[in-house]
Amino acid sequence: MTNLIRHLRTVNEHRRLVRQGCFAVGLYLQGLLHDLSKYSPSEFLTGARYYQGYRSPNNAEREAKGYSAAWLHHKGRNKHHYEYWVDYAASEGIGAVPIEMPTRYLVEMFMDRVAASKTYNGDHYTDDMPLAYYLKGKKVITMHRNTKRALEFLLTMLANDGEAATYAYIRRHVLRHAK
């Protein structure tokens, strides 16, 4: 089987898992539209070329070229990535600053991280894996402090209380009061 087919299966499985999570908390449209840019030629063909099956092909492209053009394309079109929410400060001399993510995109980001962990870990997945992966890169994340705090809270809840309890909390408390 070619890497093109393997990559397509990985993308489809990831999107299915995100849809499943988003639907469970009531984010139907976001579940349906999640990561559609991964089918664009600039993302899909690069993903197939650098496909490895156990991690994002963007990491392999980054190692090979020093950057990932597919990732730059992806994060600029998908609001569930915290990198999308970085802008220049209104005051001169401050530079780029993280912007607080709207709640629905924060929840989609959470679902994206859970689905990525499930996709790449397969049958070995446990509910503490998304938190462990996040903590591994936490020091270099440029994310708004409120977004970071909320994401860490949800990832910790998932690790400690499981998926059903975390999704119920998101439905009843996080999204219910969202703007």
pLDDT (average), residues 82-109: 94
DSSP states along 16-81: HHHHHHHHHHT-HHHHHHTTGGGGSHHHHHHHHHT--SSS-HHHHHHHHHSS-HHHHHHHTT-TTS
Name which of 36, 22, 18, 178 is nearest 100 in CA terms.
178
Per-domain residue ranges of the chain? 3-174
Q: Is the pLDDT of residue 178 over 80?
A: no
Q: What is the pLDDT of residue 91?
A: 84
What is the tens place of the pLDDT at every residue in 2-40? 999 999 999 999 999 999 999 999 999 999 999 999 999
The enclosing H or E element of 6 equals helix 3-25
Nearest to 26 by CA among 127, 125, 128, 103: 103
Q: pLDDT tens digit string along 51-94?
A: 998 999 999 999 999 999 999 999 999 999 999 999 998 888 88
